[in-house]
Chains A and B, each alone.
Chain A
Amino acid sequence: MLAKRLIACLDVRNGCVVKGVQFEDLATAGDPAALARRYDAEGIDELVVLDVTATIEKRRALEDTLRRVSAELFIPLTVGGGIRSEDDAAAALDAGADKVALNSAALQEPSLLTRLASRYGSQAVVVAIDAKRTADGRYEVFARSGQDRTAREAVEWAREAADCGAGEVLLTSIDRDGTRSGFDCSLTAAVASAVPIPVIASGGAGTFDHFDEVFTAGRADAALAASVFHFSEHAVADLKAFLRGRGIPVRL
């Protein structure tokens, strides 16, 4: 049976892991390569390296960080942040990433997803969507690390991105990011039931129950977290044992 995936996110700035609350107030959490090795040993299913400031500062994700992170890693590695062209994607993949996540660039130019999918396959192309609940209960997509409104609706954009060739959706709730108050299960379920590709839920993980909720009520295929894994030892193995106890298929 296909397992629900647990994905650790390393938000990296200037070669160091940082973790923000609602995308701001970054505080240093550690060395990315050391964290990657620890997660791999603990049984994490996948890693995402996000160069959180890359788009803002218009620079590429640090390739040497990627090389160091991927050197001894034999699980899938996704990189995001500042991937704006086929050349950026090629550099990230050559540095050891298996997938590239596109956010602002895909919004600007959806055909970039198509070109990357035809060159590397859809499995290498992730569309990252940052969404925020609006007053009327819809979910609006934001670009440039949550700074710019786009007026696009999350479900509709996820559908279009899948049609363009994205192989997975990395869906982040800006409202929940860093709050540890639980994933936005209604946002996740809305997107997961609308697209034919896997959806990774992100933003808000705080307790083991939150993962149970997002895999059941939220219909997520995978769940991504940062702080929950960063600041406690054995969190991955304990979480997997907990989920298995709840009847959720996981890789032990």
Chain B
Amino acid sequence: MIALIDYGAGNLTSVRKALTAVGAEYFTPANPDDIRNVSGLIIPGVGHFGTTKALTAAWRTAILGVVDCGLPLMGICLGMQYLFEGSDEAPEAPGLGLLAGTCRRLPSLVKVPHVGWNDLQIVKPSRLLADITTGAMTYFTHSYAAPLTPATVAQTDYGCTFAAVVEDCNIFGVQFHPEKSAAAGLEILRSFVQVTRSPDREITRSPGRPC
């Protein structure tokens, strides 16, 4: 059972519908204690980075506890940015710090927010993009973006080159909205759901040790 964390950052109707479409079993936990026995976590979200402050210390502890057990966590859009150390959008709100780096505003030489379908350039093999090829287009809507790091498995160009998909052991993230990205998006969600069904505890992430 996947826990879909609802912290009030946007509407989750579309995410729920897409998870149902790929055959996932999921629920929305009411309390941090409810995520003790899950098979994986999804942190969705759109809007301002400051809304992540709704994830209190108890939530953060519970989420990090699940990750420490080697269970898969996927962040979507704002949820992916939350995996990093923070964002210039709300410097007072710390990210989870599971991935190194800070999210920055897209350069003003292009229209911001970045809205629409853009292509993924795959830079290394990953489980999340196992069934996706370079050039596949997905639907983005965001003003801030995560930096390119060793965790980047696909990048996208818009005013700059940013991390579109990240994967580091059991940490996964997509900057775009897979639930709004037609067949390609559902394929990516399906891959994540597959990971939650057969998590490889051997590749649990631990600080300072590559997996």
Q: Using a CB–CB distance below 8 Å, which chain A residues touch chain B?
A: 1-5, 40, 45, 70-72, 74-76, 93-96, 98, 118, 120-124, 167-168, 196-198, 221-222, 251
A167's contact among B11, B115, B158, by CB below 8 Å, is which? B115
Contact of B47 with A2 in the complex, beta carbons under 8 Å: no
13 new A-B contacts, CB < 8 A, other than A2-B158, A74-B14, are A1-B118, A3-B117, A5-B116, A72-B21, A74-B186, A75-B182, A98-B14, A118-B48, A120-B47, A122-B113, A123-B141, A123-B142, A198-B116
Contact of B11 with A74 in the complex, beta carbons under 8 Å: no
Say if the beta carbon of B6 comes within 8 Å of chain A. Answer: no
Can you pick out 12 interface pairs between chain A and chain B where the beta carbons lie within 8 Å of each other? A3-B117, A45-B117, A72-B21, A74-B179, A74-B182, A74-B186, A120-B46, A121-B10, A122-B143, A123-B46, A124-B10, A198-B116
Beta-carbon nearest neighbor of A119 in chain B: B47
Contact of B115 with A168 in the complex, beta carbons under 8 Å: yes
Closest approach, in angstroms, between the C-beta of B107 and any C-beta of chain A? 12
Residues of B within 8 A of A45 (CB): 116-117
Beta-carbon nearest neighbor of B179 in chain A: A74
Contact of B118 with A75 in the complex, beta carbons under 8 Å: no
Contact of A167 with B18 in the complex, beta carbons under 8 Å: no
Residues 1-26 of chain B: 1 if any A CB is under 8 Å from the residue's CB, otherwise 0? 00000000111011001100100000
A197's contact among B14, B47, B113, by CB below 8 Å, is which? B113
Q: How far is the CA of A3 from the CA of B21 in the complex (A)?
A: 26
Q: Using a CB–CB distance below 8 Å, which chain B residues touch chain A?
A: 9-11, 13-14, 17-18, 21, 46-48, 108, 111-119, 137, 139, 141-143, 157-158, 179-183, 185-186
Contact of B139 with A75 in the complex, beta carbons under 8 Å: yes
Contact of B115 with A123 in the complex, beta carbons under 8 Å: yes
Contact of B118 with A3 in the complex, beta carbons under 8 Å: yes
Contact of B116 with A93 in the complex, beta carbons under 8 Å: no
Residues of A within 8 A of B112 (CB): 196-197
Contact of A120 with B10 in the complex, beta carbons under 8 Å: yes
Beta-carbon nearest neighbor of B157 in chain A: A1
Contact of B115 with A93 in the complex, beta carbons under 8 Å: no
Contact of A124 with B11 in the complex, beta carbons under 8 Å: yes
Contact of A221 with B116 in the complex, beta carbons under 8 Å: yes
Contact of B113 with A93 in the complex, beta carbons under 8 Å: no
* Interface of chain B: mostly helix, strand, loop or mixed: mixed
Beta-carbon nearest neighbor of B21 in chain A: A74
Contact of B47 with A94 in the complex, beta carbons under 8 Å: no
Closest approach, in angstroms, between the C-beta of A87 and any C-beta of chain B? 14
Q: How far is the CA of A124 from the CA of B48 in the complex (A)?
A: 12
Closest approach, in angstroms, between the C-beta of B11 and any C-beta of chain A? 4
Q: How far is the CA of A15 from the CA of B65 in the complex (A)?
A: 48
Contact of B111 with A197 in the complex, beta carbons under 8 Å: yes
Residues of B within 8 A of A5 (CB): 116-117
Contact of A222 with B48 in the complex, beta carbons under 8 Å: no
Beta-carbon nearest neighbor of B110 in chain A: A2
Contact of B46 with A2 in the complex, beta carbons under 8 Å: no
Contact of A2 with B179 in the complex, beta carbons under 8 Å: no
**A-B pairs with the 7 shortest C-beta distances?**
A121-B47, A123-B141, A251-B117, A93-B11, A251-B137, A3-B117, A121-B46
Beta-carbon nearest neighbor of A93 in chain B: B11
Residues of B within 8 A of A4 (CB): 116
Residues of A within 8 A of B141 (CB): 123, 167
Residues of A within 8 A of B185 (CB): 74
Beta-carbon nearest neighbor of A74 in chain B: B182
Closest approach, in angstroms, between the C-beta of B176 and any C-beta of chain A? 11
Q: How far is the CA of A96 from the CA of B11 in the complex (A)?
A: 9
Given known contacts A1-B118, A5-B116, A120 and B180 CB-to-CB distance under 8 angstroms: no
Closest approach, in angstroms, between the C-beta of B178 and any C-beta of chain A? 9
Residues of B within 8 A of A124 (CB): 10-11, 46
Q: How far is the CA of A49 from the CA of B139 in the complex (A)?
A: 19
Q: How far is the CA of A4 from the CA of B137 in the complex (A)?
A: 12
Residues of A within 8 A of B137 (CB): 3, 251
Beta-carbon nearest neighbor of B159 in chain A: A2
Q: How far is the CA of A208 from the CA of B25 in the complex (A)?
A: 44
Residues of B within 8 A of A118 (CB): 48
Contact of A75 with B46 in the complex, beta carbons under 8 Å: no
Q: How far is the CA of A1 from the CA of B116 in the complex (A)?
A: 10
Q: How far is the CA of A145 from the CA of B9 in the complex (A)?
A: 32
Contact of A96 with B14 in the complex, beta carbons under 8 Å: yes
